[in-house]
């Protein structure tokens, strides 16, 4: 059964299709309100989450379906030592589709290899997070009217930030995209993304530690949280956590139509004073994520012959 483990598991054409279904859902939600009646989504979240899990669940409810949920590792048989493979086989007996978040890189892939229903990766460790990218892509499309020909600044924890890895993969397939990678030395983009995606595809990029210097050329500024849970020691986290704090003052040299994005949750990286700026799009991303997850669930359930 096909799973969506990496954003590249969706072709550009499929991604276009998901965007157009999501836009149709926004226009005509009533048309979709009963499509998944009697169908069940299982959300298996072995790592903390507010948005992603509730977004998947809201998406399924808005399609008329039902939800089964595990919201922490302690409350499931994972605490007894059950393998991801076994859990996936078991849950396939109860649900028509699975969304899984796990602290280990590759866990969703193992789940997909063992499940008999489609599995969607809702974040696997510091690796990738394809459905956050769906939210990001719809936001860029709705705000900028295009997915190519732009300079995208990615700022913060580029090493452990899985949303950044997936977004780079997705945007690298469009013409005219240039990346500005803004991070402290220790939190630079991993070489598997830099070499296998940017260098291999000849995508223009620059690396800097200086957000202010990069600001004027950006069409998108994608801020990220320093991923505390992936650090080996608290001291390093404390030293790096406030490397970048976006304030209204720092936005003075930004383009008038630049958009500020963040997958959320934010800690300190964007001051709340920025929220009032019309360029702040992070709460729009949240809503767009729900529509894209609805469209993705529909695509996968149709493909599996479930609806």
List contacts with ligand NCD (CB under 6 A).
51-52, 123, 129, 132, 162-163, 225, 263-265
Catalytic residue among 39, 40, 53, 101: 101
Active site residue 52: yes
269-295 burial: b if 16+ Cβ within 10 Å, else e: bbeeebeeeebbbbebbbebbbbbbbb
**Cβ-based nearer residue to ligand NCD, 52 or 121:** 52
Q: How far apart are CA 161 and CA 15, in angstroms?
A: 22
Instruction: Determine contact, residues 130/152, Cβ cutoff 8 Å.
Output: no
Catalytic residue among 102, 129, 165, 194: 129
**Cβ-based nearer residue to ligand NCD, 114 or 139:** 139
**Cβ-based nearer residue to ligand NCD, 3 or 289:** 289
**Cβ-based nearer residue to ligand NCD, 178 or 266:** 266
User: In whole angstroms, how close is the CB of 159 to ligand NCD at the nearest point?
Assistant: 12
User: In whole angstroms, how close is the CB of 131 to ligand NCD at the nearest point?
Assistant: 8
Catalytic residue among 51, 142, 255, 284: 51
**Cβ-based nearer residue to ligand NCD, 32 or 220:** 220
Active site residue 102: no
Active site residue 224: no
User: In whole angstroms, how close is the CB of 292 to ligand NCD at the nearest point?
Assistant: 13
Q: How far apart are CA 177 and CA 183, in angstroms?
A: 19
Active site residue 129: yes
User: In whole angstroms, how close is the CB of 123 to ligand NCD at the nearest point?
Assistant: 5
Rounded to 5°, the CA angle 108-73-263 comes to 60
Catalytic residue among 43, 52, 131, 133: 52
Pull the structure tokens for residue 6.
């990496």
User: In whole angstroms, how close is the CB of 139 to ligand NCD at the nearest point?
Assistant: 12
Q: Give whole-number Cα distances, 147 to 63, 165, 195, 242, 291, in Å.
A: 27, 17, 22, 30, 18
N-terminal to C-terminal alpha carbon distance within the chain = 15
Instruction: Determine contact, residues 219/150, Cβ cutoff 8 Å.
Output: yes
Active site residue 101: yes
Pull the structure tokens for residue 13.
């054409």
What single-letter DSSP state applies at residue 278?
T
Question: Which residues participate in catalysis according to the annotation?
Answer: 51-52, 80, 101, 129
């Amino acid at each position: 059964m096909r799973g969506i483990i990496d954003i590249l598991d969706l072709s550009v054409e499929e991604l276009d299709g998901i965007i157009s279904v999501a836009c149709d859902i926004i226009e005509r939600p009533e048309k979709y309100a009963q499509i998944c009646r009697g169908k069940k989504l299982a959300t298996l979240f072995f790592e903390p989450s507010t948005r992603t899990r509730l977004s998947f669940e809201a998406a399924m409810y808005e399609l008329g379906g039902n939800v089964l949920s595990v919201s922490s590792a302690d409350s499931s048989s994972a605490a007894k030592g059950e393998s991801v493979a076994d859990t996936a086989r078991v849950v396939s007996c109860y649900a028509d589709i699975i969304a899984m978040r796990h602290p280990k890189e590759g866990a969703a892939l193992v789940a997909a290899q063992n499940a008999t229903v489609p599995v969607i990766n809702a974040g696997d460790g510091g690796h990738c997070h394809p459905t956050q990218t769906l939210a990001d892509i719809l936001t860029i499309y709705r705000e900028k009217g295009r997915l190519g020909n732009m300079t995208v600044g990615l700022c913060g924890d580029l090493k452990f930030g899985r949303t950044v890895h997936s977004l780079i993969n997705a945007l690298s397939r469009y013409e005219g995209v240039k990346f500005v990678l803004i991070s402290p030395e220790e939190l630079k983009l991993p070489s598997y993304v830099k070499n296998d995606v940017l260098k291999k595809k000849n995508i223009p990029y620059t690396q800097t530690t200086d957000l202010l210097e990069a600001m004027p050329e950006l069409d998108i500024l994608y801020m990220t949280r320093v991923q505390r849970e992936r650090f080996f020691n608290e001291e390093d986290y404390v030293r790096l956590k406030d490397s970048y704090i976006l304030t209204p003052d720092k936005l003075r040299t930004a383009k008038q139509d630049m958009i500020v994005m963040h997958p959320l949750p934010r800690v300190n990286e964007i001051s709340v004073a920025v929220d009032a700026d019309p360029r702040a799009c992070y709460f729009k991303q949240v809503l767009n994520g729900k529509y894209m997850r609805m469209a993705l669930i529909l695509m996968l359930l149709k493909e599996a012959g479930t609806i």
